């Protein structure tokens, strides 16, 4: 079989980051550009969907021009875009433009599942994981353990019963008076605190199965913050609370991951999604897992265009003619199929 070399443009607009990248099936990543909307949403303490859509519209074309110029090409051979899950208005911008450009360029489009993008992000690294592996997907919207037998063969072993872990980081950060997005700021503050200063629960770690729950931990932090505020010394214990929360959250994730890896017989674990940028999680899992742990580089843990471009390249068998603007808020990862074998 002759494999055609393809240059795939990846477009990510599911939330508050406009990401564009160009991936070559032979040479790898050629160019990557990102515009973060963090400053726009910070004043509101969270993502405002309408503002997100409008900003994607403003940023997307200039980013695409920049990426094509950097790679010194006029047009790609295929356009991959995030078709869901995410904010529908934001997804529509990426989907609409991807389809419009592909129609103009006369090339096909590949709709990509955002979480499959995260899951495949380590494929951009020099030593990509081989299948099968266990994936810990931890972002602002998801906390999932996925048994990955091959491309498109995903079985959910566990998920969160309430808040996603990124959401727990964001809400805890808010309680501690840190800005949006809270995860990185909380991790930063935790560096100055003692992680055993405040006793917090490790939710679910002794329960059967592999599900997560973070609302109990969040409530426990809220009570600690309230107590400290009543004592008048919240300022002195903020860092301790941040460090103790981070430790509890990370230990919970690691305990469930080790259990799932053990029961599923996995010797490889992939960590992806925004919370995968957490240093403590990266270090501790690597130290405690008796196997290989794979992470995307830091900038490809949070939302980006490169993961969509590489997922699109791996899913070229699913490429379709431009024209069907696909944008779905909800989309189960398990419903995906092996490339070329529509579900």
Tell me which residues touch Zn ion (CB under 5 A): 139, 303
> CA 214 to CA 218: how far, in whole Å?
6
Site string for ligand KG4, 136-155 (x = CB under 6 A): ---xxx--------------
Shortest CB 27 distance to ligand KG4, Å: 26
R_g (Cα) of the chain, nearest Å:
20
Cross-sheet strand order for the sheet of 17-24: 28-36, 17-24, 7-12, 78-84, 109-113
Contact status: 117 vs ligand KG4 (CB under 6 A): no
Shortest CB 85 distance to Zn ion, Å: 9
Alpha helices per DSSP H over the chain: 38-42, 49-70, 88-105, 114-120, 165-175, 182-190, 215-231, 234-264, 279-288, 306-314
Shortest CB 88 distance to ligand KG4, Å: 15
> CA 206 to CA 114: how far, in whole Å?
31
| Residues contacting residue 59 through CB under 8 Å, at least 6 positions apart | 18, 35
Shortest CB 180 distance to ligand KG4, Å: 8
Beta pairing, strands 17-24 & 7-12? antiparallel
Using alpha carbons, select from 33, 42, 108 the residue that is nearest to residue 68: 33
Contact status: 94 vs ligand KG4 (CB under 6 A): no
Instruction: Output the six-digit token pair for 73.
Output: 């090409």
Residue 199's Cβ-count burial label (10 Å; 0-12, 13-18, 19+) is exposed
Of 35-43, 121-129, 155-163, 275-283, the window that binds ligand KG4 (rule: CB under 6 A) is 275-283
Shortest CB 17 distance to Zn ion, Å: 8
Choose between 77 and 116: whose C-beta lies nearer to ligand KG4.
Answer: 116
Binder of ligand KG4 out of 111, 274, 305, 312 (CB under 6 A): 274
CA angle, corner 46, sides to 40 and 171, nearest 5? 140
Choose between 64 and 189: whose C-beta lies nearer to ligand KG4.
Answer: 189
Binder of ligand KG4 out of 32, 170, 211, 224 (CB under 6 A): 170
Shortest CB 231 distance to Zn ion, Å: 38
Q: Among Zn ion, ligand KG4, none, what does residue 249 contact (CB within 5–8 Å per kind)?
A: none
**Which residues here bind ligand KG4, judged by CB under 6 A?**
15, 139-141, 166, 169-170, 181-184, 187, 273-275, 277-278, 302-303
């Amino acid at each position: 079989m002759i494999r055609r070399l393809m240059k795939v443009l990846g477009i990510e607009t599911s939330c508050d980051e406009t990401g564009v990248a160009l991936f070559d099936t032979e040479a790898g990543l050629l160019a990557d550009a990102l515009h973060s909307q963090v400053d726009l949403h910070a004043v509101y303490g969270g993502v405002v969907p309408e503002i997100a859509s409008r900003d994607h519209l403003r940023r997307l074309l200039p980013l695409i021009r920049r990426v094509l110029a950097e790679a010194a090409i006029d047009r790609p051979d295929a356009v991959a875009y995030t078709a869901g899950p995410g904010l529908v208005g934001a997804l529509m911008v990426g989907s609409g433009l991807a389809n419009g450009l592909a129609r103009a360029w006369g090339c096909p489009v590949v709709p990509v599942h955002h979480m499959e993008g995260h899951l495949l992000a380590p494929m951009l690294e020099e030593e990509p994981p081989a299948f099968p592996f266990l994936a810990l997907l931890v972002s602002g919207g998801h906390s999932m353990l996925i048994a990955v037998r091959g491309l498109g063969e995903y079985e959910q072993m566990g998920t969160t019963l309430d808040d996603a872990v990124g959401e727990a980081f964001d809400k805890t950060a808010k309680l501690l008076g840190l800005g949006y997005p809270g995860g990185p700021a909380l991790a930063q503050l935790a560096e100055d605190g003692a992680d055993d200063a405040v006793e917090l629960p490790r939710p679910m770690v002794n329960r059967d199965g592999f599900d997560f729950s973070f609302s109990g931990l969040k409530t426990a932090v809220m009570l600690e913050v309230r107590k400290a505020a009543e004592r008048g010394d919240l300022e002195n214990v903020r860092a301790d609370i941040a460090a103790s929360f981070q430790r509890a959250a990370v230990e919970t994730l690691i305990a469930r991951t080790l259990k799932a890896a053990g029961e599923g017989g996995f010797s490889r674990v992939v960590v992806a999604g925004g919370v995968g940028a957490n240093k403590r999680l990266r270090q501790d899992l690597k130290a405690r897992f008796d196997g290989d742990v794979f992470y995307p580089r830091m900038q490809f843990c949070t939302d980006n265009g490169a993961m969509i471009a590489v997922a699109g390249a791996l899913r070229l068998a699913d490429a379709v003619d431009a024209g069907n603007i696909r944008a779905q808020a909800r989309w189960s990862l398990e419903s995906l199929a092996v490339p070329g074998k529509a579900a």
